[in-house]
Structure 1
Amino acid sequence: MSAITVYCCGSGNTREDSKWLVPTLWARDVRINNKLILDGPGTTHKLGKTSLEKAKNGHQIKLRERSGAGKKQYEITGAPAKGNTSYAATWIGSHLNKEQCLISQVNLIGFSRGGATTIQIAHMLSWFLKNKDIDLNIFTFDPVPGGSNFDKSGFGKKSAGGFHLLSTCVSNYQTIPMLNIKKYLVKVLVKKDKSFPCTIPMALSKKTNYKIIPLPGHHGDACRATPGPGLQANTSTIGHFLAQKFLEEHGVQFSKKGPTEKDALEAYARIRMLYMPGGEHTVSRNREFVSTILKKRMMNLPVNVDERDFYVNDHHYELMKNANLCQRLTDTRVHNTVAHLPAYPRTQKALSAWLNART
Structure 2
Amino acid sequence: MQQQIIKMYRKGGVIPSQVNIVGWSRGGISCHMLANAMLEDELLKEIPVNIFAIDPVPGPLNFQNEKVSLGKNVKEYVAFYAKDERSKGFYCVIPKTDSATIVRIFLMRGQHATLAGNASLDSVSEGKVLYEPGLIVRHFTEVCLTRWGVKLDKKLELSDRDLLELHQSIAKNSDLYQDIQNYSYTQFTEKNGNERNVSYGDEGSQFSLIRGNQFLPESGLISDFLVDPLIYDGIK
Superposition deviation, residue 146 in structure 1: 2.2
* Alpha-carbon RMSD: 3.7
Aligned to 2:152: 254
Q: 1:146 aligns with which of 34, 50, 59?
A: 59
The one-letter code matched in structure 1 to 2:113 is G
Q: Does 1:274 align with 2:173?
A: yes
Distance 1:104 1:215 in 2: 32
Aligned to 1:64: none
Contact 1:119–1:166 (Cα < 8 Å) also in 2: yes
Superposition deviation, residue 226 in structure 1: 7.3
Contact 1:105–1:135 (Cα < 8 Å) also in 2: yes
Aligned to 2:69: 165
Q: 1:127 aligns with which of 40, 60, 76?
A: 40
SS in 1 for 2:92: coil
Distance 2:225 2:81 in 1: 13
- Larger Cα-atom Rg: 1
1:104-115 equivalence runs, <5 A: 104-115=17-28
Aligned to 2:203: none
Residues 232-287 of structure 1, C-alpha deviations (whole Å, 9 max, x = no match) = x010011101111111111111121224133333211111222179xxxxx83687
SS in 1 for 2:40: helix
Change in 2 beyond 3 A, CA 1:320/1:209: closer
- Select the structure with the greater relative contact order (CA < 8 A; seq sep ≥ 6): 2
The one-letter code matched in structure 2 to 1:206 is S
Contact 1:213–1:315 (Cα < 8 Å) also in 2: no
Distance 1:209 1:302 in 2: 11
SS in 2 for 1:124: helix
Identity of aligned residues (%): 25
Superposition deviation, residue 229 in structure 1: 2.8
Distance 1:139 1:238 in 2: 13
Change in 2 beyond 3 A, CA 1:296/1:255: same
Q: 2:128 aligns with which of 229, 232, 241?
A: 229
Q: Does 1:241 align with 2:139?
A: yes
Superposition deviation, residue 135 in structure 1: 1.9
Contact 1:241–1:261 (Cα < 8 Å) also in 2: no
Aligned to 1:219: 112
Distance 1:143 1:260 in 2: 24
Change in 2 beyond 3 A, CA 1:259/1:92: farther
More strand by share: 2
SS in 2 for 1:162: helix
Change in 2 beyond 3 A, CA 1:135/1:225: farther
Distance 1:258 1:88 in 2: 33
More helix by share: 1
Q: Does 1:199 align with 2:93?
A: yes
Change in 2 beyond 3 A, CA 1:121/1:198: same
Distance 1:318 1:168 in 2: 30
Residues 141-169 of structure 1, C-alpha deviations (whole Å, 9 max, x = no match) = 1111124xx5xxxx554xxx431211221
Q: For structure 1, which runs of at least 5 residues remain unmatched after alignment?
A: 1-81, 189-194, 278-282, 323-359
Distance 2:63 2:231 in 1: 40
Distance 1:286 1:223 in 2: 15
Aligned to 1:208: 101
